[in-house]
Amino acid sequence: MGLIPATRGSIHFRDQLVTEPIQDVGMVFQSPVLLPWRSVLDNVLLPIEVMNRSRREHAPAALELIDLVGLSGFENKMPRELSGGMQQRASICRALITNPSLLLMDEPFGALDAMTREELGVELMRIWDEKRKTVVFVTHSIPEAVLLADRVVVFTARPGRVAEIIEVKLPRPRGLETEFAAEFKEYVDRIRAIIYAQKVRR
Amino acid sequence: MSRRVFRRYVLPTLTIAGLIALWQVLCVVLDIPVWLLPAPSLIFQKLVEWGDKLPLHTWVTLYETLAGFALAIAVGIPLAILIVYSEVLQNTIYPILVIFQSVPKVAIAPLFLVWVGYGAISKILVAFLVAFFPIVVDTATGLNAVPRELMELMKVLRASPYHIFKKIRFPAALPHIFSGLKVAITLAVIGAVIGEFVGSDKGLGYLILISSSHMDTGLAFGSMAILAVIGIGLFVGVAWLERVICPWQTTEHQ
């Protein structure tokens, strides 16, 4: 999103060409990258501080977000006192504190263990249900993509091109039980077939 | 007494005490000449004997060390910040620093005597010179050690360079700065002593020099013992400051 110039093509956000980082975007990375010298609350409020907005005004919102991701009671803990999953929850709060309309998540659960990953996936859907942000979510897990997304954009590996865009029409709200549905498996198989076909062709 | 206390404090103390006892016994049993290797008891006796003069010499060396160290911080940290923020300075000042670093400081020490004279300033400058380099290098390393994602986050938030420095880069650099300071403080003691070796009329380095030339090995050893205490004390002081200023770092290491 304007961090690195596009090698080809262009990015548009609300009919505006994006050439430099735009506001109204929250970012969550693969690792939580919390500041180790700041408490959870202070980490969540970091964007507010660097944007020269009032800390006091946004503190209630920060506490609300911390509560939303299930970290209430941990707002004054330091990052090292938290598990990896909890740190990632805190970094989601940090992304949401500026109330952006677009949330970019770059393999946010990639570094977590399988169980925490499933848990946070469900959690993210709950947060989405409440906040209704547009989320762009990069993942290597096909079931995760199908479970979370309305649209799955399947990329080919090297060169990274869009292979196909699949609309996922599973009913919401979805939960882990969604994964047992026959339709869910169909979607997963379809995407896997697209990726596999690409690999064979090479 | 817990096992941890025993391992961390009692065990090293016993080891050192045992070695000193062994030294004492060997000196007496083997009848080693005093001018070659004085027994610990004799060194202690010398320290008592010189009790009225030693505080002055100790103070002089301590003062030179601390002044050199303070100067190294005052010049080193701002210089490192300039180097990190300006590519031009990085390509002009940094190579000069590296060249300077490869020149043995002992070789420069006599020149300081010529330039600034016989007083404390020449010793402070030598202490500054040896302490300065690790501070610059570690501060620069620390300022560049910010995770890439964090810098991207700052860009997305359109944070000002001032905010990025104050809230991210400088605090992130602190643990590196302190590891530089810990190296620098021990080097500063050495620098002050080198400065005194080259030409002085007071200080522990001066005392070591004249006592060895008079074959007064006991006093030389006594002065060295005081130097060791100064070095260890200052190091512990900086390490303590690190624990106070950046607790997130030290607790991670334990």
Number of neighbouring beta carbons within 10 Å of residue A56? 9
CA torsion B224-B226-B231-B235 (nearest 10°) is: 150
Does B157 contact A80 at a Cβ distance shorter than 8 Å? Answer: no
Which residue of B152, B159, B171 is in closest CB contact with A37?
B171
Q: Which amino acid is at B214?
A: H
Cα distance between residue B90 and residue B100, in whole Å: 15
Does A3 contact B157 at a Cβ distance shorter than 8 Å? Answer: no
Beta bridge partners, A164, equal: A154
B26-64 pLDDT tens trace: 999 998 888 889 999 999 999 999 989 999 999 999 999
Does A33 contact B156 at a Cβ distance shorter than 8 Å? Answer: no
User: Strands A25-28 and A16-17: what pairing?
Assistant: unpaired
pLDDT, chain B, mean: 90
Instruction: Of A111, A110, A159, give the one whose Cα is nearest residue A138.
Output: A110
The pLDDT score that the predictor gives to residue B248 is 80
Which residue of A33, A49, A80 is in closest CB contact with B153?
A33
The pLDDT score that the predictor gives to residue A200 is 63
The pLDDT score that the predictor gives to residue B60 is 95
Under DSSP, the state recorded for B10 is: I
Q: Which residue has the tokens 């911080």?
A: B73
Sign of CA dihedral B121, B122, B125, B126: negative
Judging contacts by C-beta atoms under 8 Å, the chain B residues touching residue A27 are 152-153, 156
Judging contacts by C-beta atoms under 8 Å, the chain B residues touching residue A33 are 147, 149-150, 153
The answer on pLDDT for B221 being more than 50 is: yes
Q: Which residue has the tokens 């919390």?
A: A34
Q: Hey, what are A194's tokens? A: 């697209």
The pLDDT score that the predictor gives to residue B146 is 87
Cα dist. B133→A97, B81, B94 in Å? Answer: 42, 14, 10
Euclidean distance between the first and final Cα of chain A, in Å? 30
The pLDDT score that the predictor gives to residue B123 is 94
Substitution target in B146, B148, B149 with the highest count of A β-carbons within 10 Å is B149
User: Strands A151-155 and A162-167: what pairing?
Assistant: antiparallel
The answer on pLDDT for B79 being more than 90 is: yes
Cα dist. B59→A71, A128, B139, B202, B205 in Å? Answer: 54, 66, 29, 10, 12
Q: Kindly list the residues of chain A whose beta carbon comes within 8 Å of any beta carbon in chain B.
A: 1, 3, 21, 23, 25, 27, 29-31, 33, 35-37, 46-47, 49-51, 78, 80, 98
In contact, B122 and B113? CB cutoff 8 Å: yes
Which of A112-116, B112-116, B130-134 has the lowest average pLDDT? A112-116
* Planar angle of CA A158, A160, A166, nearest 5 degrees: 130
One pLDDT digit (tens) per residue for chain A, 202 residues = 567 777 777 888 888 888 777 778 888 998 888 999 999 999 999 999 988 888 899 999 999 999 888 898 999 999 999 998 899 999 999 999 988 888 999 998 888 888 888 888 888 898 888 888 899 999 988 989 999 999 999 988 777 788 889 898 888 888 888 888 889 999 999 999 988 876 665 5
Nearest CA in chain B to A46: B167
The pLDDT score that the predictor gives to residue B251 is 46
Under DSSP, the state recorded for A76 is: T
Does A27 contact B152 at a Cβ distance shorter than 8 Å? Answer: yes
Which residue of A21, A36, A49 is in closest CB contact with B248?
A36
Size of interface A-B (CB pairs under 8 A): 54
The answer on pLDDT for B149 being more than 90 is: no
Q: Which amino acid is at A124?
A: L
Cα distance between residue B47 and residue B60, in whole Å: 17
**H or E segment to which residue A28 belongs:** strand A25-28
Instruction: Of A152, A155, A180, A138, give the one whose Cα is nearest residue A29.
Output: A138
| pTM (2 d.p.) | 0.82
Does B149 contact A29 at a Cβ distance shorter than 8 Å? Answer: yes
The pLDDT score that the predictor gives to residue B1 is 64
In contact, B122 and B64? CB cutoff 8 Å: no
- 3-state SS track over B21-89: HHHHHHHHHCCCCCCCCCCHHHHHHHHHHCCCCHHHHHHHHHHHHHHHHHHHHHHHHHHHHHHHHCHHH
Judging contacts by C-beta atoms under 8 Å, the chain B residues touching residue A80 are 248, 251-252
Buried b (16+ CB within 10 A) or exposed e, B179-215: bbbbbbbbbbbbbbbbbbbbbbebbbbbbbbebeeee
What is the distance in angstroms between the Cα of A106 and the nearest Cα belonging to chain B? 11
Within 152-191 of B, beta carbons closer than 8 Å to A belong to 152-160, 163-164, 167-168, 171-172
In contact, A191 and A154? CB cutoff 8 Å: yes
Average pLDDT score over residue span B97-104:
84
User: Which is more confidently placed, B149 or B191?
Assistant: B191
B159-174 pLDDT tens trace: 889 999 999 999 999 9
